[in-house]
Amino acid sequence: MPPKKKAAAKPNVSAEELLGHYREMLLIRRFEEKAGQLYGMGLIGGFCHLYIGQEAVVVGLEAAAEEGDKRVTSYRDHGHMLACGMDPKGIMAELTGREGGFSKGKGGSMHMFSKEKDFYGGHGIVAAQVPLGAGLAFADKYKGNDRVTFTYFGDGAANQGQVYETYNMAELWDLPVVFVIENNQYAMGTSVKRSTKSPSLWERGAAYGIPGEEVDGMNVLAVKEAGERAVAHCRAGKGPYILEVKTYRYRGHSMSDPAKYRTREEVQKMRDERDPIEQVREMLLTGKHASEDDLKAIDKEIKGIVNEAAEFSKESPEPALEELWTDIYATEIPQEA
């Protein structure tokens, strides 16, 4: 471990913290690359939406979260699960549809949950998770605790009506929910410019009295800082807060998307100039918080974790056929974790 000292770029960040962000973002990237590979091999089926390029969003926001805070998101969910501490083995095994997966293989890439880590899915219908997130926040407020729910959705979902129904009630009832718009600029193949004339998405909250801000989603420290502001607002009982996090996905919408709606140069430029992992790597090296060798060691460690997850996901058996008929009805109410 390098000595703990101030970073060059951001005086308030410790080397330890920067290295943590680096590790977590790298874990997501390597995990997703491996998932893409397993998809190519036919081990993962159906839809598979990769998070590559957007890593700083969840890693920054998780750094602003506390124990007991909740999160809910759409189907592009692998990064969120890794960032909140769910076991990569269980996630990868769910992607391959195996018994060892978080949903015993019955949910798949888009539908995973962890009561233990307060991760409430993994939802496949664009924007449906937005009222669900407000409902989780409603439950916390009802119970009288000060927990906060991070409700993630994309720029595509931001045009759905239920988002605005939810904004209205969330502010009306002062619900402790952070609405995180992950604006990666493309709703499948439709760019933001082709779907709305609104200059910004977060400003729509003003119509309901919800404050918010735009955040550089390629900069993990900027995301964390904004996340802390949002969380403080919610915990203080002031109601919801909107973060429009400008980010970018490098891969297609799903594995079968050739992404012809944008140029290769556009993607390459983002990778070369704005990559969230490279930015932290730069900070670590120029600030002399870590040597090339230190980072290589982290890369190796992450690769090991991801390979182990991939192995597990291949070795874990398919669910028993009896599982087809289980979990349709509860016999008792699932207890709080």
Partner 1 sequence: MATEILMPALSPTMEEGTLAKWLVKEGDTVSSGDIMAEIETDKATMEFEAVDEGVVGKILIEEGTENVKVNTPIAILVEEGEDVPEAGSSPAAAKPEEQKSEASEEMPAKAPAVAAPAAPAPDATPDWDESVEVKQTTVREALRDAMAEEMRRDDNVFLMGEEVAEYQGAYKISQGLLDEFGAKRVIDTPITEHGFAGIGVGAAFGGLKPIVEFMTFNFAMQAIDQIINSAAKTLYMSGGQMGAPMVFRGPNGAAARVGAQHSQDYAAWYMQVPGLKVCMPYSAADAKGLMKTAIRDPNPVIFLENEILYGKSFDVPVMDDFTIPFGKAKIERAGDDVTIVSFGIGMTYALEAAEKLAEDGINAEVINLRTLRPMDTDTILASVRKTNRCVTVEEGWPQGSVGGYISSVIMQEAFDYLDAPVITCTGKDVPMPYAANLEKHALVTTDEVVDACKQVTYR
User: Binders of partner 1 among 206-245, rule CB under 8 A?
Assistant: none
CB of 59 to partner 1, least distance (A): 19
Alpha carbon distance 233, 176 (integer Å):
8
Task: Closer to partner 1 by CB, 13 or 75: give it.
Answer: 75
CB of 324 to partner 1, least distance (A): 8
Interface residues for partner 1 in 93-132 (CB under 8 A)?
101-107, 111-115, 120-125, 128, 130-132
Please provide residue 210's backbone torsions phi and psi, each rounded to the nearest 5 degrees: -100, 125
Rg (C-alpha) for the chain, rounded Å, is 20
Q: Are 248 and 270 in contact (CB under 8 A)?
A: yes
Is residue 25 close enough to count as binding partner 1 by CB under 8 A?
A: no
Alpha carbon distance 50, 47 (integer Å):
10
Q: Are 33 and 307 in contact (CB under 8 A)?
A: no
Task: Closer to partner 1 by CB, 128 or 222: give it.
Answer: 128
Q: Which stretch binds partner 1 (CB under 8 A): 10-18, 77-85, 162-170, 239-247?
A: 162-170
Question: What is the maximum span of the chain, computed from C-alpha positions, in angstroms?
Answer: 58
# of chain residues touching partner 1 (CB under 8 A) = 78
Alpha carbon distance 103, 205 (integer Å):
35
Q: Are 72 and 129 in contact (CB under 8 A)?
A: yes
Residue whose entry in the numeric block shows the structure tokens 């060691």: 297
For partner 1, the binding residue among 165, 266, 311, 315 (CB under 8 A) is 165
CB of 5 to partner 1, least distance (A): 30
For partner 1, the binding residue among 4, 5, 16, 172 (CB under 8 A) is 172
Is residue 189 close enough to count as binding partner 1 by CB under 8 A?
A: no
CB of 77 to partner 1, least distance (A): 12
Is residue 328 close enough to count as binding partner 1 by CB under 8 A?
A: yes
DSSP E strands, 155-220: 177-183, 186-187, 190-191, 212-216
Task: Closer to partner 1 by CB, 10 or 271: give it.
Answer: 271
CB of 248 to partner 1, least distance (A): 14
Interface residues for partner 1 in 251-290 (CB under 8 A)?
252, 255-260, 264, 271
CB of 225 to partner 1, least distance (A): 28
Nearest to 59 by CA among 220, 218, 182, 270: 220
Alpha carbon distance 102, 116 (integer Å):
11
Amino acid at residue number 311: E
Task: Closer to partner 1 by CB, 17 or 77: give it.
Answer: 77
Interface residues for partner 1 in 140-159 (CB under 8 A)?
140, 142-143
Dihedral in degrees, nearest 10, Cα atoms 74, 164, 132, 31: 20
Q: Which stretch binds partner 1 (CB under 8 A): 74-82, 164-172, 190-198, 216-224?
A: 164-172
Q: Pairing between strand 212-216 and 190-191?
A: unpaired
Q: Which DSSP string corresponds to 53-89? A: T-HHHHHHHHTT--TT-EEEE-S--HHHHHHTT--HH
Is residue 8 close enough to count as binding partner 1 by CB under 8 A?
A: no
Task: Closer to partner 1 by CB, 101 or 212: give it.
Answer: 101
Task: Closer to partner 1 by CB, 191 or 326: give it.
Answer: 326
For partner 1, the binding residue among 4, 46, 68, 236 (CB under 8 A) is 46
